[in-house]
Amino acid sequence: MAQPQTTTTLVPGFRGLHRLGRGALRFARKQPLGLAGILMVLIVIAGAIFAPLLGTGDPNMDDFTIRLRGPSGANWFGTDEYGRDLWTRILFGARISLEVGFISVFTGSILGLAIGVATGYVGGMTDTITERLVEIMLSIPAIVLALALMAALGSGVDKVIIAIAITFLPRTIRIMRGTVLSVKENVYIEAARAIGAATPRILFRHILPNVMAPYLIVASSLLGAAILIEATLSFLGLGIPPPHPSWGRMLAGNLMSYAMSAPWMVVFPGAALSVIVLGFNLFGDALRDMWDPRLRGRL
């Protein structure tokens, strides 16, 4: 007598998790460097979230009895010239760097997406004027533009976010506009126009879904650059104001004075900055390799 065959079915609520898990495994297998990058980012994000639990208390608390103390069991990364625990300050500094990075890139890339899609689809004089303005802004190095904006806006976390968002705006506009110019020439766009589809329907139903992959690649690649620009602005004294524990400000205050006598004050903030920037860059490169059709055949 034949045995009844059994089939394994997934509960509908777990199907999405199953697909997500398979996608994550495929990403890890094809992009090991991308996996390493996202792990770096997740470690830093976890440290920022649990900073009050992982740290030793207030990152701005002075204790001159333990100033310039090297790494030890009580102070893992040592202390600075004011006796503040460097491990705690780096954890809380990660919060500022990630906040500035995510908010500025999200703001700048969303505005760039909207402007790039609109001007690329509409064309005409609006597109010409926008493209000339974008070219003017792109002719200025990003850090110089950010410095000029900070000099005009003043110091503060919100000002840094605005400056970095504006700095990244022309790059996003240029890439999104070029993508839309390519997508709108496809046959299905012509067919939608032929049957009388309205412009908003074409934009949201046909254009936007086809530009989201390049948009996500651009946004992920800009995250590391945003954190690096914030650190550079703080290093030059135009970024995050004291007493906020910014990685760039830590390096600015310690590099010349304590690089030789207390190297931990330079090594650990610099290492934290390097890890998060490298992590975002590796992850962004992996997304580009997976989603860019020109590179897909090499995988």
Position 10 scores a pLDDT of 46
Q: Which residue, 103, 94, 127, is CA-closest to 219?
A: 103
Residue 219 maps to a domain: yes
- Alpha-carbon torsion angle 101, 104, 110, 113, nearest 10: -80
CA 97, CA 48: separation in Å to the nearest integer? Answer: 9
pLDDT tens-digit profile of 9-39? 444 445 655 566 666 677 667 778 888 888 9
Q: What is the pLDDT of residue 263?
A: 83
Domain holding 87, by residue range, is 30-298
State pLDDT tens for residues 214-225: 888 888 888 889
Range of weakest confidence among 102-111, 140-149, 165-174, 279-288: 279-288
| pLDDT at 165 (0 to 100) | 92
Q: Helix %, strand %, coil % for the chain, to 5?
A: 75, 0, 25
Q: Which residue's entry shows tokens 């490298």? A: 278
> What pLDDT score was predicted for residue 265?
85
Least confident of 25-29, 66-70, 122-126: 25-29
Asked whether residue 201 is domain-assigned, the answer is yes
- Measured CA to CA, the distance from residue 159 to residue 142 in angstroms comes to 16
Q: What is the pLDDT of residue 43?
A: 92
* pTM, entire model: 0.81
The reply to whether 76 falls in a domain is yes
Instruction: Report if residue 113 sits inside a domain.
Output: yes
Taking residue 297's Cβ as centre, other Cβ atoms within 10 Å add up to 6
Span 60-74, average pLDDT: 80
In a domain, 235, yes or no: yes
Average pLDDT over the chain, rounded to an integer: 82
Which amino acid is located at 103 in the chain? Answer: I
pLDDT over 70 at 273, yes or no: yes
8 Å CB contact between 289 and 48: no
Nearest to 180 by CA among 120, 126, 122, 130: 120
Q: Do the domain assignments include residue 136? A: yes
- Whether the predicted pLDDT of 185 surpasses 60: yes
Q: Residue 142: which CATH number?
A: 1.10.3720.10
How many other C-beta atoms lie within 10 A of the C-beta of residue 217?
20
Given a cut of 70, whether residue 293 has pLDDT beyond it is no
Is residue 247 a contact partner of residue 231, using CB atoms and an 8 Å limit? Answer: yes
pLDDT at 40 over 70: yes
| Model confidence at 257: pLDDT above 80 | no
What is the model's pLDDT at position 238? 83
In a domain, 137, yes or no: yes
Query: Do residues 247 and 90 make contact, with C-beta atoms less than 8 angstroms apart?
Result: yes
For residue 250, the surrounding DSSP H or E stretch is helix 247-258
Residue bearing the bigger pLDDT, 278 or 288: 278
Number of structural domains in the chain? 1
285 lies in some domain: yes
